Amino acid sequence: VFPLSNWTELDVWQYIAREGIELPGIYFAHEREVFSRNGMWLTAGEWGGPKEGETPEKRLIRYRTVGDMSCTGAVDSDAATLDA
């Protein structure tokens, strides 16, 4: 049985807040240099971008998962704290 399988992202954040779980800053929004591709914000690097016509820009974003930024898209967010 996998009890978290039907939780939404909001459910997870509410659980973290309710239980007082401390998180490292990497989970929250930061200003980063990214470029847009197919509706996602990606981090520039040797692994694939930006390509011609994709202009890097600084944006306040966060990653919904913590993984390899060469294959993880970011979302616009100003959530710099758990409450936000």
Q: With the CA atoms of 35, 40, 43 and 44 taken in that order, what torsion angle do they form, in degrees rounded to the nearest 10?
A: -40
Any domain includes 17: no
Cis status of the peptide bond prior to 56, with omega within 30 of 0: no
Measured from the Cβ of residue 22, the count of other Cβ atoms closer than 10 Å reads 6
**From residue 77, how far is each of 6, 27, 42, 81, 84 by CA, in Å?**
24, 11, 14, 11, 9
- Note down the domain range covering 58: 25-84
Distance CA 43, CA 57 (A): 10
Task: Please name the amino acid found at residue 17.
Answer: A
Q: How many separate domains does the chain show?
A: 1
Question: Which pLDDT does position 72 carry in this prediction?
Answer: 81
Is the pLDDT score of 77 beyond 90?
yes
**Residue 27: both structure tokens together:** 């989970």
pTM: 0.74
Query: What are 6-33's pLDDT values in tens digits?
Result: 899 889 999 999 999 999 888 899 999 9
Mean of pLDDT over the chain: 87
Any domain includes 72: yes
Any domain includes 1: no
Any domain includes 10: no
pLDDT band at 71 (very low <50, low <70, confident <90, very high): confident
